[in-house]
Amino acid sequence: MDMLWSGWGDPAQATPLPETVIGLLRDLLGVKPAATAPVTLDEIPVPESPLTGEALAALAGAVGDEAHVRTDAETRIRHTRGKSTPDLLRIRGGDVTDVPAAVVLPASHDDVLAVLRACAAHGLALVPFGGGTSVVGGLAPERRRPFVALDLRRMDGLLALDPVSRTATLQPGLRAPHAEALLAEHGFTLGHFPQSYEWATIGGFAAARSSGQASAGYGRFDEMVLGFTLATPEGTLEAGRAPRSAAGPDLRQLVLGSEGAFGVITSVTVRLRPLPRTRVYEGWRFASFEEGTAALRRLAQDGPRPTVLRLSDETETLIGLAQPDAIGAPDAPESAGCQAIAGYEGTAEDVAHRRELAAAVLRECGGTYVGEEPGERWAHGRYSAPYLRDALLDAGAFAETLETAAFWSRVPELYAAVREALTTTLTEAGTPPLVMCHISHVYENGASLYFTVVSAQGEDPVAHWAPVKRAAGEAILAAGGTISHHHGVGTDHRDWYVREAGPLGVEALRAVKRRLDPAGLLNPGVLLPSD
């Protein structure tokens, strides 16, 4: 099943906002219904593919059948850009300036190499396409030449499983729920559940350094990767002979997070965990975000660490965004203070032991236990936020997210700086916002902050957001944060990433790019500026 072309996920799961929420948006933020309705799929004028007959024949030969090279309007629209709010606003307005010239569906590593050769021969750029869930412009290359979207959905198998080593080798187009189902048949799980889980792919997780909502217990996806196979215009690169090695710099870390700019990941070997026998999610309350942050730091540094550990600030708790399914509900929980979610997965004995010890720490830090109901509601609605974002857009509001991370000592400053940048910039533009934040991932040495912004759209919503995004990016770097913790770089964060990496670091990455992709055909302008 394809994602909704003009929004997130499965259209059957979309839920309109309650009238009470629409009224609050109108009264508090000045949100008005959009002046014009979004275009329909068949109303979008898509130009004919610019590919020559020779180029199309070469691509068909690379994947073995012309049926796996698609140039119809609908397929190309569905592969245009990703799912950020600006992406959706542009496609809803009929803007397909980033439409691929064709969509190519390989079935193997050799197919991918052949497609790369065909692209090089005919002067085409190429963008790897997994679940299409990018929210940072990662699927919209600089348009200096036609490009093809390499849809990896046919490469969706479990290639190998080693129960002794607890590893599995997966193909890149395998969607996360299918991967979990295949691994569960053998008693294992990846434990990787980002908000994009229902639609994202294994290759996308690796290419963007994804981080799941249970990262406190299972780790980030880049920590799970033990090896990979990469198809590049210059040949095949493989890495990962052992779980750890002192044999020089780790090439795995070079490719993880490269967002298709260095090559196409065609297989990923990951470590596995046994399926948990027990799962418990519970809620806690703190009087302030500062108090709750200190409690999370205690658990992250000294343990015991829950599998899931999150903290919403006062505004996010008040609105109920920590439990999207509860927004606007008459039985919404008491919302004073800050809500934390602690989740535990494992054996019954392990879960009980960690819960007891963690509860003692949380109480000592000022937390109040509020039962399992908030935790279970969070777990039930953990993938609902993108649908809520779409409902807000439908109602005429602007809703977007951004995230960052810093060392614990810098987290308070980072939180205040980004919040101030978002609030001030939007207020001065005539659209005072609602700014919410939560700590989404914790580490021994720091944490990530995930912001959600809701405001009126302004006359031109995409142009209206651009200076706000710039102000937030500047605030992040000035406060010592990273420009992205798990969304990635794409084109949206590229200029700040260049500053974060520094001139010498960028030149080193350019040298890698030139060696693996000398013609610059892979995702041009994504991650690094084009030469």
Which residues contribute to the annotated binding site for FAD?
128-134, 259-265
Integer CA distances (angstroms), 291 to 92, 296, 314, 329, in order: 42, 9, 11, 28
Q: For residues 422 and 441, what is the distance between their CA atoms, to the nearest angstrom?
A: 21
Instruction: Write out the catalytic residue numbers.
Output: 450
Nearest to 196 by CA among 486, 431, 519: 486
Residue 404 near residue 429 (C-beta atoms within 8 A): no
A 10 A CB-CB count for 60 gives 17
Tokens of 324: 């999207």
Q: For residues 149 and 151, what is the distance between their CA atoms, to the nearest angstrom?
A: 6
The residue type found at 492 is: D
Q: For residues 376 and 283, what is the distance between their CA atoms, to the nearest angstrom?
A: 9
Tokens of 64: 């073995």
Q: For residues 46 and 331, what is the distance between their CA atoms, to the nearest angstrom?
A: 47
Which residues sit opposite 229 in a β-bridge?
Answer: 238, 267
Q: For residues 487 and 170, what is the distance between their CA atoms, to the nearest angstrom?
A: 22
Integer CA distances (angstroms), 172 to 130, 256, 267, 328, in order: 7, 13, 6, 39
Nearest to 179 by CA among 210, 149, 150, 148: 210
Q: For residues 194 and 403, what is the distance between their CA atoms, to the nearest angstrom?
A: 14
Q: Which residues are annotated as a binding site for substrate?
A: 389
Residue 402 near residue 472 (C-beta atoms within 8 A): yes
Q: Parallel, antiparallel, or unpaired: how do β-strands 158-162 and 147-151 relate?
A: unpaired
Residue 107 near residue 490 (C-beta atoms within 8 A): no
Largest CA-CA distance found in the chain, in angstroms, rounded = 71
The residue type found at 48 is: E
Integer CA distances (angstroms), 29 to 21, 423, 427, in order: 11, 12, 10
A 10 A CB-CB count for 460 gives 11
